Structure formats: C-alpha cells, structure tokens
C-alpha cells in the first residue's frame, strides 16, 4: 500500500520545482479568496445582500476562487 508515497517521491525527483509551483499557486488562491471576501463585504453593505448572495455575486463578477 506504500505505492502512493513512492509515486509522490518519484514525481518530486523528476520535477524539483513542483513544490515551489504548488506553494505559489496556493498563495495566489489565498489572495484571490481574500479579494472576493472583501468585495463581497462591500456588496453586502452597498446593496443589503445576504452573505451567500454577496459571495456568489463577487465570484461571478471578479472570478471564482
């Protein structure tokens, strides 16, 4: 059952920059999530939307995170 760990190790050896790219992608995702949350709170204040509606609208307008 250790095949998954061995496979992951082989992938890391084949592509040493893989972990760095994953970290960068995770950071970009975190930034976009924060942006959507900030925009959603502005929509809630401006238009009196519920949190769920504001998050959905922010994702549609500024891109899904």
How many other C-beta atoms are found inside a 10 Å radius of the C-beta of residue 39? 17
- pTM tops 0.85: no
6: tokens are 């061995």
pLDDT at 11 over 80: no
Q: Which domain holds residue 24?
A: 3-62
How many separate domains does the chain show? 1
Taking only the tens place, the pLDDT of each residue in 16-48 is 666 777 676 666 667 667 777 888 888 888 888
């Amino acid at each position: 059952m250790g095949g998954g760990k061995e496979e992951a190790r082989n992938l890391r050896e084949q592509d040493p920059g893989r972990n760095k790219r994953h970290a960068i992608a995770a950071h970009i995702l975190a930034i976009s999530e924060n942006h959507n949350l900030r925009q959603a709170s502005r929509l809630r204040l401006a238009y009196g939307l519920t949190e769920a509606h504001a998050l959905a609208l922010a994702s549609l307008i500024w891109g899904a995170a």
